[in-house]
Amino acid sequence: MYQNLALLFGKVYLVILVVNVILVLLLYRRLPAKVRSVHFFLLGSLATDLASRWLFYQGENNLFLLHVYTLWELLAWGWFFNQVFEHSSKAQRQFFSGIGGLGILLVLNSIFLEPVMGFNSNAKTLVQVLLVGFAIRYFFLAFGKIDLTKAAAQSVTFINFAVLLYYSGTLFIFMFSRLLKEYGVASVQQHGLWVINALLLVVFHLLIFISLWIPLRRRPKY
C-alpha cells in the first residue's frame, strides 16, 4: 500500500515538475529575475529524476545520483538565495565562498565518508539545514518590509515557503535513512517515510508552480 502511494505521488510530482520546467523555459523573460533564477534547480531536478528512474528500471544502483543532486541543490539554491538577499559585492563574494567551501565538503564526504553508491545522509542533512536557515532568514528579513500586493514578492514568498516546508519536513527522513538501514530496519518498513517525502515533493512543486503562475497571469500592458 505505502509503496503504491509513494509511486503515485512520485508520478504526480514528476508531471508538476515537467510543467514547471516548461513554464520557466518558455516564459523565462516574463518572469521576475528572482523568480526565474529557480530554473537552475528545476532543470537539475528533472535531469536527475529522469536519470534515476531510468537506472531504477534497468536494475542499476542510482544512489550516486543523490550525491550529485545534493551538490546541485546547494549550488542552484545558493544562486537563488543570492538573488533574493540582494547581497552587496563584498557580501556576495563571502556568500559564494561559503557555498563553494560547503560544496568541497560535500565532495570530500562522498569520497571519504559516504561512498557514492550509498546514502549521503550527512551531506543531505547539512544542505537541508542550510536551506531551511536561508528560508527562515528570508521571512525574518521580509516581515513587514515587503509589499505582498506585488507579483514578484508573492512569488518569492511562495518559493521560500516551499523550501521551508519541504526541507524541514523531510529532514528526519534523510538524516536517519542510512542509520535505519545499518540497524537492519527493512526498506519495506521505511515505505511510510518515503510516502511522506513523495507527498511533500508534490506540495513543494505545486507551490513553485503557483510562484511561477502569479506573475504570468498578469498580462503585460502595451
Helix (H), strand (E), coil (C) string for the chain: CHHHHHHHHHHHHHHHHHHHHHHHHHCHHHCCHHHHCCHHHHHHHHHHHHHHHHHHHCCCCCCHHHHHHHHHHHHHHHHHHHHHHCCCHHHHHHHHHHHHHHHHHHHHHHHHHCCCCCCCHHHHHHHHHHHHHHHHHHHHHHCCCCCCCCHHHHHHHHHHHHHHHHHHHCHHHHHHHHHHHHCCCCHHHHHHHHHHHHHHHHHHHHHHHHHHHHHHCCCCCC
**What confidence tens digit (pLDDT) does each residue in 186-220 have?**
455 566 777 888 999 999 999 999 999 999 876 54
What pLDDT, in 10s, does the model give residues 63-105? 999 999 999 999 999 999 999 998 888 899 999 999 999 999 9
* pTM for the predicted model, two decimal places: 0.91
